[in-house]
Amino acid sequence: MMKKTYFIFIFFLLLCNIALKAQQFSQADSVIYYLKQVKGIQSSDSVLLAKIVAAVFKIAPDSLTTDKIDSELKKLIPVIHKQNYLAVKTAVCIVLSFSKDNYRAVNYSRNLIAELKNYSNEFEKNLLLYTLDRSRFQYRNTNRINEGVEYYQRLANYFEQANDSDATSLCYWVLAGCYRTLGLKDKAIYCQMKSTNFLNRNIIVKGNNFLFAKYNSIGMIGFINRKAVLGWMLIDYEEPQKAFPFLYEAKTIFESIKDSVEVRDGPYIYLQIIRAKILTGADSVYYYFDLMKKILDSKNDPDYFSNYYQTRGYYCYLQNRLDSAEYFIRQCAALKDSYKLMINSYVGNLIPGYYLALIKIKQYKYADAIKLLKDESNEILKVNLRKVALKEWILLSTAYKMNGDFENSTATLEHCITLQKQIIDDENKSRSVSFETEQQINLLNAEKQKQQQEISRQKFIRNLITGGLALVFIFSLIILFQRNRISKEKKRSEELLLNILPFQVAEELKQTGHCQAKTFSMVTVMFTDFKDFTSVSEKVSAELLVDEINFCFSAFDHIVQKYKVEKIKTVGDAYICVSGLPVLNYTHALDIVSAAIEIRNFMLTRKKEKEARGEIPFELRIGIHTGPVVAGIVGVKKFQYDIWGDTVNLAARMESSGEAGQVNISGTTYALVKDKFNCTHRGKIVAKHKGELDMYFVEPSNQ
């Protein structure tokens, strides 16, 4: 009886296999039927071609069907129009991007890109851009992401040499997504800025063929996308305040053209503004939820809807509306499962398990939270989202601990430490100059090249002088003029360098061609930041805002120069400086506190002046901390002397934990200045990610 059952089962499997193959051949045959209709037509029939591509998109993403179509295409090469041939190949390539046979998909796309690199018209160029865009998922969401980074970097170099700014921009855009996935912040932002730089934002390119009716990665619409994604990156890297300028710029352009051009990124922009407002505690969140929902109701896009529900649920969670939060998150999970959406979606990271776990922990259901996090974190690492995995593991460790499972809590925390170290090591290996630094270097190289040209010209003039004594006097005057001009340009170049770098660093750079990063064991760092900058900036014009910031920062520059404090940089409305480097001294804490008090007093006076005129004033928070830093010009965002290390982070925490009109210092700084200034102990204050820290308000001594 068992034998008979076994044979029946095998026979059933054979029938299923035959039926499946028949269905696959049927799908392929429908494509081949249309292909034979364009045989011998030496022009591109867009209507018929649209039917072929539509039929291709319906086939199963496996080698059986795609091989059959590919085989038929090769037979038709002599008698099929080139554009028809390449369009069908592109459609097959996109279908294969969903295949489980990753190696075949990658090889197919690489061969197609090699063909399309030599495009001869706009149609073929669009096919190239489409293939470059869609092929990124074959690398980004698999264990071949590093291979993809190398491949797209080679393509970016090739297209840059070929002066193809559109393809270059798209390659850097793909690289930015790969680096963001890997958690490499500096490289992701650098590539996104490079991508934006290659765009021509003054053009609007509308879809001009069936493949690109809803697709556009270049021109003004591409620019909107790049700015919105920059905002997304800054939000993911816990700098939501810095994301607003990019997001509002994208929003302004989108809203100015949305009625005349289809822009897919509209709801994406609103989603990122919502996320930034949630994280900064800003208002009008529901206003942007409504704007986003209004657009989504006219679209059938499960990726956008799932991210909308996920973000809405998280906002409800923060408001302690747990039932509503769970409802929205489960809506997200249902869409994700139903449509088999990628975790690393083009709209955002879909991690409903994480948000459900947050809710379960608040409900004291720790076992449920552990199961959700374990199931989801296993999927997350498969698509290389290392920063997201860290977040999941940290929460998982907390859930274990609350559930009394200290062994698993510790083990999970050790996984976090190992992964964090790997990310830091990768960041150090991939560290390069930032986009802004690269731009400054290019300017300096252009200046140097100009000087070399002048020197070569001078040599040519001197050679002419030797040819005729009669012209010696005239040529001598010319040489004198040229030398004077070169001397002035050299002086101007050196002044430019000294405006960017401290004297000692500039000298090292000129002598050796590079500047070695150095560790300073004890310096004092100051952060300043305008209170409620975003809300105030929305009430004044851009011109008045820039004038006021320039007026204040110019005054800060004079004050820190007076106390021999080194200005590092300004970031938006933040002003950062340090005392005790590049030349060591033992009065760094006293110097910078004196400068801080004078800056505070200047801002109080400025506030009274502004209020007397009926204008909105800025109020300033100042934070100071003392400790070790690393300083140099390698791997920073500006072509200038920069510092990094935990001391910098703690100084920023002193500022954000301070109060307007006060100078807030850490316990370390207090120990160095307590005998010279009046210090008021505030107690232990909770600082973000740093726990409780001793903080003091400082005032001038009455002596």
> 80 to each of 49, 83, 118, 481, how far by Cα in Å?
12, 9, 19, 67
Sketch the domain layout of the chain as residue ranges.
Answer: 1-135, 336-431, 435-500, 514-700
The two domains 336-431 and 514-700 share their CATH topology (first three levels equal)? no
* More confidently predicted of 399 and 68: 399
Q: For 121-178, how does the pLDDT look when each residue is reduced to its tens digit (9 = 90+)?
A: 888 888 898 889 888 888 887 888 889 999 999 999 999 999 999 999 999 999 998 9
Q: pLDDT band for position 512 (50/70/90)?
A: low
Average pLDDT over residues 80-92: 80
Lowest mean pLDDT among 258-272, 460-474, 633-647: 460-474
Average pLDDT over residues 673-696: 89
Residue 541, φ and ψ in degrees, nearest 5: -70, 160
Q: Are 623 and 655 in contact (CB under 8 A)?
A: yes
Task: Find the helix packing angle between 122-134 and 82-96, rounded to 10°.
Answer: 10
Q: What is the CATH number of domain 336-431?
A: 1.25.40.10
Q: For 241-276, how does the pLDDT look when each residue is reduced to its tens digit (9 = 90+)?
A: 999 999 999 999 999 888 887 777 889 999 999 999
Residue 664 tokens read as 């807030």
- Buried/exposed code over 150-179 (b: 16+ C-beta within 10 A; e: otherwise): ebbbebbeebbeeebebbbbbbbbbbbbbb
What CATH fold (topology level) applies to the domain 514-700? Alpha-Beta Plaits (3.30.70)
Q: Which one of 202-216, 412-426, 669-683 scores highest in mean pLDDT?
A: 669-683
Q: Are 668 and 626 in contact (CB under 8 A)?
A: yes
Interatomic CA distance for residues 269 and 292, integer angstroms: 9
Q: pLDDT band for position 214 (50/70/90)?
A: very low
* More confidently predicted of 556 and 29: 556
Q: Are 270 and 296 in contact (CB under 8 A)?
A: no
Interatomic CA distance for residues 102 and 139, integer angstroms: 9
Residue 694, φ and ψ in degrees, nearest 5: -70, 130
Q: For 386-412, how does the pLDDT look when each residue is reduced to its tens digit (9 = 90+)?
A: 888 888 999 999 999 999 999 999 999
* More confidently predicted of 358 and 584: 358
Q: What is the pTM of this model?
A: 0.57
Helices (H), 383-471: 386-402, 406-430, 435-466
Comparing C-alpha atoms, which of 280, 284, 268 is closest to residue 240?
A: 280
- For residue 315, give the 3-state DSSP assignment: helix
DSSP H/E element including 662: none
Interatomic CA distance for residues 45 and 634, integer angstroms: 54
Comparing C-alpha atoms, which of 198, 173, 151 is closest to residue 439?
A: 198
327-336 long-range Cβ contacts below 8 angstroms, 24+ apart: 329/355, 329/356, 329/359, 330/356, 331/306, 332/306, 332/307, 335/302, 335/305, 335/306, 335/309, 336/306
Q: For 290-343, how does the pLDDT look when each residue is reduced to its tens digit (9 = 90+)?
A: 999 998 988 888 999 999 999 999 999 999 999 999 999 999 999 999 988 888
Beta bridge partners of 175: none
